[in-house]
């Protein structure tokens, strides 16, 4: 299993600064893609490897059982639906913990491909949820900040207990 940083590692609260796609980003992308494949993750941000790169990898397949990975350099959220839905979310940096999070039902995102060409896509449902989760992580926002204090405290207690067991 890849060596993921564990919450509350400082890398998870650092925002990565967008920049033109360069060799360091491409190499980080290779590491991130390999980690996602090995962990069978829906998505990962470079922060999960302790790296401060504006980069995510995510499966673009609408079926969560499939993995169709794509690297998104300098990803950003352009627009989101007003309508939201609740769904379970977790993190490789907090294994074993899932919390219901309200997210928009669709999102329009922009990102650079490996050639530095800007792309724009509208994503829906589960794929939109994954994109929003990982792009927020690139911006230093860990998914627990999207839930109530009660849910966050319960998740943290459960995580602490699981780490002591």
Q: Catalytic site residues?
A: 134
Rg (CA), the chain: 15
- Cβ of 147: how many Cβ atoms within 10 Å? 17
Between CA 99 and CA 135 the distance in angstroms is 18
């Amino acid at each position: 299993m890849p060596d993921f940083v564990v919450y509350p590692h400082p890398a998870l609260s650092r925002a990565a600064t967008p920049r033109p796609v360069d060799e360091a980003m491409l190499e980080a992308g290779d590491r991130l893609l390999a980690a996602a494949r090995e962990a069978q993750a829906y998505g990962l941000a470079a922060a999960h490897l302790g790296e401060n790169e504006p980069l995510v990898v995510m499966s673009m397949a609408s079926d969560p059982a499939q993995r169709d990975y794509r690297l998104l350099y300098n990803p950003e959220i352009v627009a989101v639906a007003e309508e939201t839905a609740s769904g379970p979310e977790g993190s490789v940096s907090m294994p074993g913990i899932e919390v219901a999070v309200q997210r928009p039902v669709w999102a329009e995102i922009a990102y650079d491909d490996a050639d530095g060409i800007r792309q724009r896509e509208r994503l829906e449902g589960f794929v939109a949820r994954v994109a929003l989760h990982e792009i927020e992580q690139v911006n230093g926002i860990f998914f627990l900040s999207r839930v109530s204090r009660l849910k966050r405290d319960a998740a943290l207690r459960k995580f602490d207990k699981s780490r002591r067991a």
